[in-house]
Amino acid sequence: MGRVRVDLNISLDGYATTTDQTPDDPIGQDWHRLTAAYVATRTMQERVLGQTSKGTTGIDDDYAAAYFEGIGAEIMGAGMFGLHLHPDDPDWQGWWGPNPPFGCPVFVLTHEQRPSLEMEGGTTFHFVQTSADETLARAREAAGDLDVRIGGGIRTVRPYLAAGLVDRLHVGIAPILLGRGENLWTDLRELERDYEVTSEVAESGTVHVTFSR
Amino acid sequence: MGRVRVDLNISLDGYATTTDQTPDDPIGQDWHRLTAAYVATRTMQERVLGQTSKGTTGIDDDYAAAYFEGIGAEIMGAGMFGLHLHPDDPDWQGWWGPNPPFGCPVFVLTHEQRPSLEMEGGTTFHFVQTSADETLARAREAAGDLDVRIGGGIRTVRPYLAAGLVDRLHVGIAPILLGRGENLWTDLRELERDYEVTSEVAESGTVHVTFSR
């Protein structure tokens, strides 16, 4: 059976979400600062932005490449799919474009009932109303021997972490202080006792910390 | 004029204090876990515990050695001196022993009026009732061309950080999650904008992050 994996970008003070969105700047500057080193990698440039032969190589890119390796199914919240952006549009296919970077079944947790969406490149979005446990069971079955990723956002990830269901947690810590948002570390006291924790610093200054078991 | 420096041990989730003290275990296990790699260094073994030729060498020890270099005066809270342990005993000389590791004037912030205490090895404790600014001015004068350290605890340090008075902040981040206590990062959003931030990982797994300007 594969592992359950989580990869997140967080700030030095633990925040995984940003709070400076405005109507004119719907993503916000903090999100760019939080994810800049990751987005800049060759892997993310190629896989997500379709820019070949661009981007950084090195430690950040090693983690970005590993992000896509060995994943057989993904679980994400409705926000990560983008359901909230067009709530009343049954034709909205999410903000990942016609060829999403997942290449596997993706289970989107939502109260909204929608037919599954088969996209290019092997990604199929399934919209599910199941519990965290039930969704994981379904994702494991879809993944077979491969790993399941809990993609995000933070509110989707945390129940899996708190329940001890995550086998590998990797955080890319940007050396910035956001001061507000949703904090990954809330109520995870002594999480490390069930894991081996290793860290390394990328050329960009991002500190990569990995909890694995 | 010298710089103002801060060095702290914090957990991965930012806590600089621990909360598991009991009457039978007045320091608590969390404090040991938070400071274990630092206490284990050759420098700390020699300077604080009087154990020569023991302790780790390597990156943690480089930071421990740097801790004591170039400091001309120190500011600390009453708790770091240990005033709370014997509140009604005018003869109590703090918990740093007869030969404290500071070797310079130490300004202890307290409401309690006490005569200055001259110890072995060049440490003199002055008990002051002045504001953070006034205390810093006095410490700067005592330090001359050398640096002033704001030693701790966290409640003593934070006003200096928030006021932009700290030139170099070094944190040794232990790869543990404490989940509660006083968080160093509270209300320091975008602190990094005034600093260069560098990080490195020690052999122990401690992540050393330094804000400098």
Ordered by start, the domain boundaries in chain A are: 4-18+27-86+96-212
pLDDT tens by residue, A186-205: 999 999 999 999 999 999 99
| Banded pLDDT at B47 (limits 50, 70, 90) | confident
Query: A-chain residues within 8 Å CB-CB of B192?
Result: 12, 175-177
Q: Is the pLDDT of residue B1 over 90?
A: no
Question: How near does any CA of chain B get to the CA of A167, in Å?
Answer: 17
Model pLDDT, residue A133 = 95
pLDDT above 90: residue B50:
no
B152: number of Cβ within 10 Å: 20
The token duo for B90 is 């005018």
Largest CA distance in chain B: 46
The rounded distance, in Å, linking the Cα atoms of A9 and B204 is: 24
Q: Tokens 């007045």, residue?
A: B26
Distances (CA, A) of A9 to A77, A143, B199: 16, 24, 17
Q: What is the pLDDT of residue B148?
A: 98
Residue type, A91: D
**Cβ–Cβ < 8 Å for B116, B110:** no
Which two tokens mark B8?
């702290």
Going from the C-alpha of B37 to that of each of A88, A195, B16, B138, the distances in angstroms are 55, 18, 15, 33
Q: Which amino acid is at B107?
A: F
Considering only CB atoms, which residues of chain A are within 8 Å of chain B? 12-14, 175-180, 183, 185-192, 197-201, 205, 207, 209
Contacts B190 to A, Cβ<8 Å: 176-177, 179
User: Which pLDDT score, from 0 to 100, does residue B210 have?
Assistant: 98
In angstroms, the CA B182 to CA B180 distance is 7
B168's tokens: 């170099």
At A47 the pLDDT is 85
Closest CA to A66 of A96, A38, A93: A38
Residue type, A128: V
**Mean per-residue pLDDT, A91-113:** 93
Write down the pLDDT at residue A130.
94
Helix, strand, coil content of chain A in percent (nearest 5): 30, 25, 45
Cα–Cα nearest to B3, from B164, B145, B138: B145
CB contact under 8 A, A190 and B179: yes
pLDDT band at A51, cuts 50/70/90?
Answer: confident
DSSP notation for A122-187: G-EEEEE---HHHHHHHHHHHHTTSEEEEEE-HHHHHHHHHTT--SEEEEEEES----SS-BTTTT
Contact yes or no for A207 and B205 at CB 8 A: no
Q: Are B104 and B123 in contact (CB under 8 A)?
A: yes
Instruction: Give the pLDDT band (50/70/90) at residue A49.
Output: confident
**Mean pLDDT of the region B62-89:** 92
Q: How many CB atoms lie within 10 A of CB B64?
A: 26
A/B interface, count of CB pairs below 8 Å: 74
pLDDT at residue A168 greater than cutoff 90: yes
pLDDT higher than 90, residue A208: yes
A12·B178 Cβ contact <8 A:
no
Residue A36 near residue A206, CB atoms below 8 Å = no
What is the tens place of the pLDDT at every residue in B82-119?
A: 988 887 888 899 989 899 999 999 999 999 899 999 99
Q: Please name the CATH architecture into which domain A4-18+27-86+96-212 falls.
A: 3-Layer(aba) Sandwich (3.40)
Q: Write the residue in A12, A186, A192 that is nearest to B185 by C-beta.
A: A12
A56 — pLDDT class (breaks 50, 70, 90): very high
Residue A26 pLDDT more than 90?
no
pLDDT at A36 over 90: yes
Mean pLDDT along residues A17-31: 93
Using one digit for the tens of pLDDT, what is the confidence trace for B148-199?
999 999 999 999 999 999 999 999 999 999 999 999 999 999 999 999 999 9
Q: Say if the Cβ atoms of A177 and B191 lie within 8 Å.
A: yes
Judged against a pLDDT cut of 90, whether residue A1 lies above it is answered with no
Q: Tell me the per-residue pLDDT of B13-37, one tens digit each, with 9 for 90 and over.
A: 999 999 999 989 988 999 999 999 9
**Domain B4-19+27-212 CATH assignment equals 3.30.910.10:** no
Average pLDDT over residues A96-117: 94
Residue B163 Cα distances to A29, B79, B132, B157, B167, angstroms: 24, 22, 10, 10, 11
- What is the distance between the terminal CA atoms of chain A, rounded to a whole angstrom? 14
**pLDDT given for residue B88 in this prediction:** 82
What would the two tokens of residue B203 be?
């052999």
Question: B113: left (phi > 0), else alpha (psi -120 to 50), else beta?
Answer: beta
- List the single residue in A177, A189, A192 with the smallest CB-CB distance to B185: A177
* Whether B177 and A185 lie within 8 Å, measured CB to CB: yes
Residues of B in contact with A187 (CB under 8 A): 179
